[in-house]
Amino acid sequence: MTWCGDKPEPAFSEPWHAQAFAITVALNEAGHFEWSAWAERFGATLKAHGLTKELDGGEDYFNAWLETLEGFLADIGIADVGALQHLKTAWTEAYLATPHGQPVNLAKPA
């Protein structure tokens, strides 16, 4: 956490930002890839999206982070692109079907 006056501020603006970061760090620490390879891929994603402005870890930054992570994991054989897309679609549908303020839950596979 960072501190602003007397109140702590979260280091990440959204919980999913922290989760994406933590997953990436855990995969690196488990030896699935070198951090330098990750940084090179992430930099290329930022450049491809024209994100050359000063980034503050906001939505653009973490959307690029997630895109890089998904592509990287597919390329090194840890994740299946089709399975990732299916899961994204399921989460989107669950989110859109969930009343405001309620937790989003995926249906268990049949």
What's 14's DSSP letter? S
The answer on 32 and 65 residing in a single domain is yes
The answer on 30 and 69 residing in a single domain is yes
- Cα torsion at 42, 28, 88, 45 (round to 10°)? 10
Do 33 and 24 touch, CB atoms closer than 8 A? Answer: no
The answer on 66 and 22 residing in a single domain is yes
The answer on 95 and 68 residing in a single domain is no
The answer on 56 and 17 residing in a single domain is yes
> Where in the sequence is the domain holding 51, given as residue range(s)?
2-79
Output the pLDDT for position 56. 61
The answer on 103 and 92 residing in a single domain is yes
Output the pLDDT for position 110. 57
Q: How confident is the model at residue 109 (pLDDT cuts 50, 70, 90)?
A: low
- Cα torsion at 58, 63, 66, 68 (round to 10°)? -110
Number of separate domains in the chain = 2
The answer on 54 and 90 residing in a single domain is no
- The predicted model scores a pTM of 0.75
The answer on 65 and 30 residing in a single domain is yes
The answer on 65 and 85 residing in a single domain is no
The answer on 53 and 100 residing in a single domain is no
**Is the pLDDT reported for residue 7 higher than 70?**
no
Q: Which two tokens stand for residue 58?
A: 């906001």
